[in-house]
Amino acid sequence: MSELFDGKEGTQHLLMGNEAIARGALEAGVRVAAGYPGTPSSEIIESLARVADKANMYVEWSVNEKVAMEVAAAGSFAELRSLTAMKQNGVNVASDFLLHLAGSGTRGGMVLVPCEDPGALSSINEGESRYFARMMELPLLEPGDFQEVKDMVKWAFELSEELRMLVVLRSVTRLSHASGMVTYGPLPPREATARFRHEGFVLDPQEGVLISAPVGYKHELQQGKIRKAREMFENSPFNTYTGPEKPEVLIITSSACTLYSKEAVHLLGLKDRVGILKLGTTWPLPVNLLTRYLSLTDTIFIVEEVIPFMEENIKVIAAERAAEIGIKKFYGKNDGTLPMVGELNPDFVIGALCKILNIEYKARPDEYTQAAQNIPFTGEAPHRELTFCPGCPHRASFWSIHNALELDGRKGFVCGDIGCYAMAMLPTGFSVVKTVHAMGSGSGIASGFGKLGQFHFDQPIVAVCGDSTFFHTAIPALINARHHKADFTLVILDNSGTAMTGFQPHPGLDVNALGDTVPSIDIADVCRSMGARVEVRDPFDLEETRKVLNELMEDEEGLKVLILRQICTLSPEKKAGKKYEMSINEEICIGENCGCNRLCTRIFRCPGLVWDTERQVTKLDEVICIGCGVCADICPAGAIQRKEAGIS
Binding residues for another protein restricted to 128-167, rule: CB under 8 A:
145-147
Interface of this chain with another protein, residues 343 to 362, rule: CB under 8 A? 345-347, 350
The amino acid occupying position 236 is S
Helix (H, G, I), strand (E, B) or coil at 19: helix
DSSP string, 55-110: HT-EEEE-SSHHHHHHHHHHHHHTT--EEEEEEHHHHHHHHHHHHHHHHH--SS-E
What's the min distance (Å) between Cβ of 607 and another protein? 5
Across 258-293, b (16+ Cβ under 10 Å) vs e yields bbbbbebbeebebeebbbbbbbbbbbbbbbebbeeb
Whichever of 45 and 606 has its CB closer to another protein, that residue is 606
**423 is an interface residue for another protein by CB under 8 A:** yes
Residue 542 binds another protein, judged by CB under 8 A: no
Q: Which amino acid is at 424?
A: A
Kindly tell me which of 171 and 297 has the beta carbon lying closer to another protein: 171
Give the H or E element holding residue 396: helix 393-408
Selected binder of another protein within 74, 99, 135, 178 (CB under 8 A): 178
**Minimal distance in Å, beta carbon 521 to another protein?**
27
DSSP letter for 375, please: G
Q: Taking a C-beta distance cutoff of 8 angstroms, is the pair 406, 641 a contact? A: no
Containing 181, the helix (H) or strand (E) segment is strand 179-183
From the CB of 198, what's the least distance to another protein, in Å?
Answer: 44
Closest alpha carbon to 490 in 522, 536, 451: 536
Closer of 73 and 436 to another protein (Cβ): 436
CB of 110 to another protein, least distance (A): 28
Q: CB-wise, 109 or 390, nearer to another protein?
A: 390
Enumerate residues 608-647 that contact another protein by CB under 8 A.
609-611, 613, 621, 623-624
Q: Does 380 bind another protein (CB under 8 A)?
A: yes
The span from the CA of 465 to the CA of 446, in Å, is 11
| Phi, psi at 641, each rounded to 5° | -125, 150
Per-residue 3-state assignment (H helix, E strand, C coil) for 114-178 = EEECCCCCCCCCCCCCHHHHHHHCCCEECCCCHHHHHHHHHHHHHHHHHHCCCEEECEEHHHHCC
Dihedrals phi, psi of 493, to nearest 5 degrees: -90, 85
Q: Which range of residues in 96-104, 118-126, 309-317, 397-405 is near another protein by CB under 8 A?
A: 118-126
What's the rounded Cα separation, in Å, for the pair 435 and 491? 15
d(CA 181, CA 19): 11
Main-chain dihedrals φ then ψ at residue 150, nearest 5 degrees = -65, -45
Contacts 24+ apart (CB under 8 A), 196-203: 196/74, 196/77, 196/78, 196/79, 197/79
One of 10, 189, 382, 595 touching another protein (CB under 8 A) = 382
Residue 19: CB minimum distance to another protein, A? 12
The yes or no reply on residue 565 touching another protein (CB under 8 A) is no
Could you tell me the smallest distance in angstroms from the CB atom of residue 581 to another protein?
Answer: 16
Cβ closer to another protein: 265 or 481?
A: 265
Q: 6, 9, 11, 14: which one contacts another protein (CB under 8 A)? A: 14
Report in angstroms how near the CB of residue 477 gets to another protein at its nearest: 26
> In the complex with another protein, which residue's Cβ is closer, 363 or 407?
363
Closer residue to another protein (CB): 488 or 503: 503
Q: Based on the shown chain and the rule CB under 8 A, indicate whether residue 590 belongs to the binding site for another protein.
A: no
Q: What is the closest distance, in whole angstroms, from the C-beta atom of residue 611 to another protein in the complex? A: 6
Closest distance of CB 383 from another protein, Å = 6
For position 381 contacting another protein by CB under 8 A, the verdict is yes
Closest CA to 89 of 441, 417, 416, 438: 438
User: Does 11 sit near another protein (CB under 8 A)?
Assistant: no
CA 149/CA 146 separation, integer angstroms = 5
H helix runs in 198-331, sequence order: 215-233, 257-268, 287-294, 309-320, 322-325
Angle among Cα 357, 358, 360 to the nearest 5 degrees reads: 110
Alpha helix locations (H) across 16-60? 17-27, 42-50, 52-55
In the complex, minimum distance from the CB of residue 615 to another protein, in angstroms, rounded to a whole number: 14
| Minimum separation from the CB atom of position 263 to another protein (A) | 4
**203 binds another protein, rule: CB under 8 A:** no
Of 185 and 427, nearer to another protein (C-beta) is 427
Answer yes or no whether residue 39 interacts with another protein by CB under 8 A. yes
3-state secondary structure 261-274: HHHHHHHHCCCCCE
Among 374, 459, 529, 585, binds another protein (CB under 8 A): 374
Task: Output the smallest distance, CB 115 to another protein, in A.
Answer: 12
- The verdict on 603 binding another protein (CB under 8 A) reads yes
Interaction between residue 228 and another protein (CB under 8 A)? no
- Shortest Å distance, C-beta 181 to another protein: 5
How far apart are alpha carbons 519 and 205 in whole angstroms?
36
CB 166 within 8 A of CB 70: no
186 touches another protein by CB under 8 A: no
Task: Considering the complex, state which of residue 42 and residue 222 has its C-beta at the smaller distance from another protein.
Answer: 42
Of the candidate residues 8, 383, 411, 456, the single one contacting another protein (CB under 8 A): 383
Q: Does 424 participate in binding another protein (rule CB under 8 A)?
A: no
Binding track, positions 247-276, relative to another protein; x by CB under 8 A: ---------x--xx-xxx--x---------
Q: Residues in the site for another protein, rule: CB under 8 A?
A: 12-14, 39-40, 121-123, 145-147, 174-175, 177-181, 256, 259-260, 262-264, 267, 345-347, 350, 363-365, 368-369, 371-376, 379-389, 420, 423, 427-428, 570, 598, 601-603, 605-607, 609-611, 613, 621, 623-624
